[in-house]
Structure 1
Amino acid sequence: MAKHLPRAIMRYLREADPQHKANAHDLLAAFAPDATVIDDDGRTYTGHDEILRWRASEGTEYTYTVEVSHVEKFDDTHYVVTNHLEGDFPGGVVDIIYRFTLADGLITKLEIAP
């Protein structure tokens, strides 16, 4: 299902997967220099430096697995990807929705919601 996603989204999903040894350079290569991330707590991070700090602090508290459970393409620049997470975090199971906006093959906006 996920294999038909644009390269930038695939790169982000791979680098954000806790089973994958994340590489900061590869993660940032998915984002435009002025990209914005709005996390599931409603906090906004803009630009590579803030996005890198956000990713470094995310997901380090718990152990979990990630599986893409749904992909929706609205047009060539808007995608929604749902990931199913299971792990040792409170509740143990959650579906996370990622709303991607792309331009010139890079992520310009990522909104994350439970």
Structure 2
Amino acid sequence: MTATPTGFDRLPDTVRAYLDAHARGAVPAAAECFTPAAVVVDDGSTWRGRAHIRDWLSRSSTTYTYTTTPTAAVRRGTDDWEVTQRIEGNFPGGVADLAYGFTLDDARITTLVISPA
């Protein structure tokens, strides 16, 4: 399937729930969006399993203060979605555009890869 731009309102419920919970700093709610054996890749590190992902979410939500603004959403396949967000805050550089690549299975996130957009 080719990449198909889509509206944010057409993203899967789980992706929207994760993005909302993460933006609010609601770590338990964000972690529940993942399967028990999910994998997250961010900033050169990999976290495996919901417990480790919860730890990553806790650290990422307290290390810096920032806001997120979704700028694009693309469907890359049946279970693959990408959301680009601009983050602005008190981290080095202050502004970054990041691509969040989601793979879903049974309405939960199995893989999330965050990379520069």
Work out whether the TM-score is over 0.5.
yes
Q: TM-score, normalised by structure 1?
A: 0.89
Question: What is residue 7 of structure 1 aligned with on the other side?
Answer: 13
Q: Unaligned stretches of 5+ in structure 2?
A: 1-6
The code of the aligned residue for 2:9 comes to: K
Residue 93 in 1 paired to residue 95 in 2? yes
Partner in structure 1 of residue 50 of structure 2: 48
Aligned-residue identity in percent: 37
* RMSD between aligned residues: 1.3
So what's the TM-score if we normalise by structure 2? 0.87
Deviation per CA, 1:14-38: give whole Å up to 9, x if none.
Answer: 1111xx24141x2222111111001
The answer to whether the 8 A contact 2:64-2:89 is kept is yes
Q: Tell me the equivalent position of 2:26.
A: 22
Please report how far the alpha carbon of residue 86 of structure 1 lies from its aligned counterpart in structure 2 after TM superposition.
Answer: 1.2
Contiguous gaps of at least 5 residues in structure 1: none
The answer (yes or no) to whether the contact 2:31–2:57 under 8 Å persists in 1 is no
